[in-house]
A and B are shown apart, each in its own frame.
Chain A
């Protein structure tokens, strides 16, 4: 009995190691992104660009939630991710005492990049200028009918007691740089029945509810580069006081990997610099709403803009 067992366990171990995906072969770069359309598109762009320059990659696009992605990067499970500059507030909370830096794109970026470089050996490369920040969106018809263009107009509308319901993520609702910040800056206060708070930060559901008017929702949380803005006839309300943090997408890489492939910085810099807010919106819309394959969308973009032959 014992002999059989040992042999069987050895065989299973061998089978196991054969089945387990052979991870790194001569250090290819593991690229991982978040579980959304933007993660798909940007991730595929990075992979195509690196592959074209003969850098081997391992595709871990749509890896998981932001926390898991960050943990994976810090633990060297993945090598290159797409992250957002404003996230620095969560990564180094003890040092992020001055919250005003997050409203400035350059200061926020520098702060996060410096701390990550010093403390975690993680390097932030050139970001895209598209501010994927949290804003409030309404339908175009609603904006036209009620004459609402900016957050000040919205505050006036709310304070006049007119019907209003906002759908947003719990973290936005409770964030002093989120809804609470807006309320304080523009002088309005929402009651609990004027808010529908969802656990996840995913806006696809929320925007769908806004577009269809489900549950009397007439405003929703939206991210700057959301594809829905293109497709669902929605407008973003202007925020002259710049309340929420600035979130610029940027490639973030482990220092050890960058040392091996320093050219990654120069490869990705022009690509990311070319991604404006409108560009990202339309790319995201193609993947999320038209259902196009993210690889095709990324490839077409790179080719159309001369980054790929």
Chain B
């Protein structure tokens, strides 16, 4: 039944190839260009035909292979085909660019949804993305606005990407130990829990941007009073305020999930460990901590994904990262630059989500906490 829904959905999405715009031909970076649809491109309708056929469930093995292959390559093919569109008026090849239209986005989603109904669907979707990214990296989509933005500032792109990840990761690491410690202590002292939770929650409520603004003043004065701190980067703007804010934000999921992790420990297990005569150190090391670990990792996962997104704001205070690309794109009204900044963040967030959830699941199985006791 689910299968049929997915195939139906893909059918609808592929139909949009016929009716919705395929792309926008922009003469320069800022102005919205002229719309074009699939029909303007020779023979492109063959693709639609194949796409529609592929929604039918086929049993024959070879045909099924071909179908998978087609679906995997469809996104790349569509984007490649869109590159061949040209307008009648003269234009500067260096400046003009093509932005993708809704029909291509929908068709890609349709292809991926169809792939998810097949065996090893996730692997196939992953391969499809890899093909796309590889072709992109090797310059097979030269007219694509997204590509032009990328190629015109490649060094900056990778620098900001590295800054973004370094900010997200280090702020997470910094919050890790205090977060786990506070979460664990909250289970031992109920009164403390209220204080800690209030404190940590308070940060979540305050908007990130205002936190950044508030931090500027004390950090700046601190940096001026103690010059040696400045060499360590203690300034009102740049890396440090973003780092501090991100760490504080990462605290809540880590603390809260660590608390739950230890609270959910089976009392029978804890009792038997105590009654065996294990010292509290032994119990923590061999029983409580391993059993709590998968749930602590849940908190880390949430904090990390959250951080990857929040780091965008560092771009506003000179902290670098993909945010600076996004805000520059906003300032210049260049949508492809905005995409260049935000798409990698989305992909990173999704990618890490998948990896970390997988780790969590493996750990839960290993710790035997995935199953109900017989």
Contact = CB atoms under 8 A, between A and B. Distances in A.
Instruction: Determine direct contact between A and B, CB below 8 Å.
Output: yes
Interface of A: 1, 5, 8-9, 12, 15-17, 19-21, 23-24, 32, 35-37, 40, 60, 62-65, 68, 71-72, 75-78, 202, 204-205, 207-208, 211-212, 228, 231-232, 288-293
Given A20-B240, A68-B316, A68-B318, A208 B324 contact: no
A204 B333 CA distance: 6
A2 to B, nearest CB: 10
B284 interface: yes
Contacts of B92: 290
Contact of A62 (B29, B284, B324): B324
Given A15-B173, A64-B237, A288 B224 contact: no
A212 B230 contact: no
B358 interface: no
B239 A36 contact: no
Nearest to A76: B224
Nearest to B92: A290
A211 B31 contact: yes
Interface string B269-299: 0000000000001001000000000000000
Interface in B99-135: none
B148 to A, nearest CB: 6
A207 B31 CA distance: 9
A72 B177 contact: no
Given A60-B318, A291-B148, A24 B29 contact: no
A79 to B, nearest CB: 12
Nearest to B233: A20
Contacts of A228: 30
A289 B30 CA distance: 6
Nearest to B240: A20
A291 B236 contact: no
B32 interface: yes
A205 B333 CA distance: 6
A228 B317 CA distance: 27
Interface in B227-252: 230-233, 235-240, 243
Contact of A12 (B148, B176, B332): B176
Given A64-B318, A68-B237, A288 B334 contact: yes
A207 to B, nearest CB: 8
Given A63-B318, A75-B223, 7 more contacts: A15-B170, A75-B224, A78-B318, A205-B333, A208-B32, A288-B29, A289-B95
